[in-house]
């Protein structure tokens, strides 16, 4: 008998990111008291102050029982109850920290990883490894990384992200040399990003030119499938 997520890898999108998936952070749940013995309650996800999804919890022994509804690909709503084991690991300087034990089963292999977060990227809440989720930063090329680095510096200095924004003034108390170093880093990163934009625009112009030349020649046959 299959387990959570055991249907096939085909159910699992290889394009999803950690940031785009709803998640359950066990440390946040612990701070909110959701891991206490006998607990019953719920959690909500909001966007712009409005609720977009919710889930109910109840603590049952060493497990947190998740109850929620899902609908995939326009199908009927499905009620799901997922029992997820929780373990507590001793910390180096005292106390203990909770972890989910991922209940995923992929291609017949049980996961069982101790993780701090589970992601609702499919029918069940599983770890990012089972869903093969990646961080958005892993998809960035060197130009994207450069622009993100520049925007982070701008915001760190109290400004707005984006090359069109005015570069923020030196914060009070920051050494002149430190400010100049950060300013230089932003300039170099944005020059690199502009180089990429120039390459993309040149490529588009070449494609337009080639398309124009083809359109003036003999009409090509079209095949309908």
Pairwise CA distance, residues 116 & 111, whole Å: 14
Pairwise CA distance, residues 41 & 20, whole Å: 25
Q: Among the three residues 120, 135, 150, which one is the final residue of a domain in this structure?
A: 135
**One domain for residues 127 and 147:** no
Handedness of CA 130, 116, 111, 121 (dihedral sign): negative
User: Across residues 92-101, what is the average pLDDT?
Assistant: 90
**One domain for residues 125 and 145:** no
Domain count, the chain: 2
- Cβ partners under 8 Å of residue 1, min gap 6: none
**One domain for residues 96 and 173:** no
Q: Is the pLDDT of residue 26 over 90?
A: yes
Edge to edge, the sheet with strand 78-90 lists 40-47, 50-60, 63-70, 78-90, 96-101, 114-115
**One domain for residues 53 and 124:** yes
Count CB atoms within 10 A of the CB of residue 32: 14
Q: Determine, yes or no, domain membership for 2.
A: no
**One domain for residues 189 and 93:** no
**One domain for residues 95 and 178:** no
Q: Determine, yes or no, domain membership for 93.
A: yes
Q: Mind listing the pLDDT tens digit for each residue in 195-219?
A: 776 776 777 777 766 666 555 554 4
Q: What totals of helices (H) and strands (E) does the chain contain, helices first?
A: 3, 10
The parent domain of residue 47 ranges over: 9-135
Pairwise CA distance, residues 185 & 153, whole Å: 8
Q: Mind listing the pLDDT tens digit for each residue in 145-169?
A: 777 788 888 888 888 888 778 888 9
Q: Among the three residues 119, 135, 151, which one is the final residue of a domain in this structure?
A: 135
For helices 176-215 and 142-156, the axis angle rounded to 10 degrees is 140
Handedness of CA 157, 158, 159, 161 (dihedral sign): positive
User: Across residues 3-26, what is the average pLDDT?
Assistant: 56
Question: Length of the chain in residues, anyone?
Answer: 225
Closest among 117, 115, 101, 116 to 4, alpha carbons compared: 101
Q: Mind listing the pLDDT tens digit for each residue in 81-91?
A: 999 999 999 98
């Amino acid at each position: 008998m299959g387990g959570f997520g055991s249907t096939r890898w085909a159910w699992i999108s290889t394009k999803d990111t950690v940031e785009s998936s709803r998640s359950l952070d066990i440390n946040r749940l612990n701070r909110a008291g959701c891991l206490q013995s006998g607990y019953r309650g719920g959690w909500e996800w909001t966007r712009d102050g409005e609720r977009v999804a919710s889930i109910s919890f109840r603590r049952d022994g060493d497990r947190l029982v998740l109850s929620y509804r899902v609908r995939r690909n326009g199908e009927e709503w499905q009620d799901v109850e997922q029992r997820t084991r929780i373990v507590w690991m001793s910390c180096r300087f005292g106390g203990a920290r909770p972890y989910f034990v991922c209940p995923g089963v992929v291609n017949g292999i049980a996961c069982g990883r101790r993780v701090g977060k589970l992601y609702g990227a499919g029918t069940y809440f599983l770890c990012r490894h089972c869903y093969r989720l990646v961080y958005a930063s892993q998809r960035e090329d060197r130009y994207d990384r450069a622009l993100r680095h520049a925007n982070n510096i701008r915001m760190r200095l109290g400004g707005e992200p984006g090359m069109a924004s005015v570069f923020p003034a030196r914060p009070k108390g920051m050494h002149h040399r430190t400010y100049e170093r950060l300013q230089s880093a932003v300039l170099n990163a944005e020059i690199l990003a502009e180089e990429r934009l120039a390459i993309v625009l040149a490529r588009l112009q070449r494609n337009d030119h080639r398309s124009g030349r083809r359109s003036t020649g003999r009409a090509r046959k079209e095949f309908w499938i």
